[in-house]
Each structure stands twice: as structure tokens, then as C-alpha cells.
């Protein structure tokens, strides 16, 4: 239970690079704060990919385990009448060189807003590992073809971390996950585009 490494930042998030342009992303800002059992996260990153392609990856829950080494599974449980998808995300989180580990499950309702560039997820309340929470991803296409991604999240843990080292470890690992997930998101977009580019080159 001690300081856990959470890998759900793009999970609806925000998986390291296989592409040659491994450092193409640009991290603009990172904020990780906590108050008791509540953690607030915000970051902005510019990705070397189009907003349309980034949105496709974020909307594809089957890809989420590739956005973080800590996500072991993600599955669709239900589709609601308003189109929101209830998704279960399983994590296995470790800190201190694997000396302390814990398995977690997160249930969330994910929806894409009418603007097509904003994703919002609401945590199912009173889960065993999370009391409540929300996430929001906002995509803004830039004139040079890249995408500015803004991520905001707030969640309340359903268990206590040690008061001194726990929050410090949590914040450190969340920052690390932000960087890793941004890199992997960019890579997944590039990977999805390669088959389409190959087909366009072979089409007469």
C-alpha cells in the first residue's frame, strides 16, 4: 500500500519509444499536488502527431496497456444509452525497486464530448481502490500539424498512504509516468500511421 506507481495517466492515459523520433514530444507543464487522500494532476504536452490520430489512440481502450507498463488489462464492461463506455482498468504498481507492490482496479465511464477533441472520464464512486475521481483530455491542433494535449485529473484514494514518504513517492512516480506515457502515446500514433502510409505508397 505504500507509495504506489500509478500508470493510468492516459487511461484514458494519460507506452518507451520504438520509433526513431523518440524525443519528438515537448513537455510544457506538469503539476502534481495532494491534499490528504486527494491527488490533483495537470500537464500539457505537445505531440508530434495530428489531433485526429491522437484522439483515435485515446479512444481505443484496448491500447491503454501499451500506454503504461503498469496497466495490465483494460476491458469494456458496458456501453450506456448516452454513448459513455464503462471501462475497467487493472494495474500492478510497485515502488522501491519492487519491494512494495499492489494490484489495483479502476472503473470509469468514458465519453467523448461533441467537439470531438475532449475526452472526459468519471470514476465509478466508492470503488475498493478509488473513492472518486475524474479525468479530462483536451486536444488542440497546432498550425504546424502537431497537437497540444492538456490533461487534468483529480482522484481520492480509498486507502491511506504513509503520511511522510507515501505522498512524496506518489508525486515522484506520477511525474515519471507522465513522461513515459507521453512518449508512448506519440509512438502508438506513429505505429498506427505506418500501415496507412505503406498502403498509399503501393496503391497505383
- Global pTM reads 0.75
- How far apart CA 67 and CA 16 sit, in angstroms, is 9
Q: What is the pLDDT of residues 129-182, one digit of tens each?
A: 899 999 999 999 999 999 999 999 999 988 776 665 666 666 666 677 777 777
**Measured distance between the N- and C-terminal CA atoms of the chain, rounded to whole angstroms:** 58
Only one residue has cell 450506456, namely: 80
For residues 184 and 25, the answer to whether their CB atoms sit within 8 Å is no
Which domains does the chain possess?
26-194 (3.30.530.20)
pLDDT of residue 98: 58
- How far apart CA 176 and CA 82 sit, in angstroms, is 35
Amino acid at each position: 500500500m505504500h507509495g504506489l506507481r500509478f500508470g493510468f495517466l492516459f487511461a484514458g492515459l494519460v507506452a518507451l519509444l520504438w520509433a526513431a523520433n523518440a524525443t519528438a514530444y515537448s513537455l510544457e507543464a506538469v503539476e502534481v499536488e495532494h491534499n490528504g487522500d486527494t491527488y490533483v494532476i495537470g500537464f500539457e504536452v505537445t505531440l508530434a502527431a495530428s489531433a485526429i490520430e491522437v484522439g483515435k489512440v485515446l479512444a481505443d481502450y484496448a491500447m491503454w496497456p501499451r500506454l503504461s507498463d503498469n496497466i495490465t488489462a483494460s476491458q469494456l464492461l458496458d456501453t450506456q444509452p448516452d454513448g459513455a463506455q464503462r471501462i475497467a482498468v487493472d494495474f500492478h504498481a510497485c515502488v522501491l525497486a519492487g519491494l512494495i507492490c499492489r494490484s489495483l482496479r479502476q472503473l470509469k465511464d468514458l465519453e467523448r464530448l461533441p467537439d470531438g477533441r475532449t475526452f472526459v472520464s468519471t470514476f465509478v464512486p466508492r470503488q475498493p481502490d478509488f473513492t472518486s475521481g475524474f479525468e479530462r483530455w483536451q486536444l488542440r491542433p497546432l498550425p504546424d500539424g502537431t497537437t497540444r494535449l492538456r490533461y487534468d485529473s483529480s482522484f481520492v484514494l480509498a486507502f491511506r498512504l504513509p503520511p511522510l514518504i507515501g505522498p512524496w513517492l506518489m508525486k515522484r512516480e506520477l511525474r515519471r509516468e507522465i513522461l513515459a506515457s507521453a512518449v508512448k502515446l506519440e509512438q502508438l500514433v506513429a505505429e498506427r500511421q505506418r500501415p496507412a502510409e505503406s498502403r498509399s505508397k503501393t496503391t497505383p
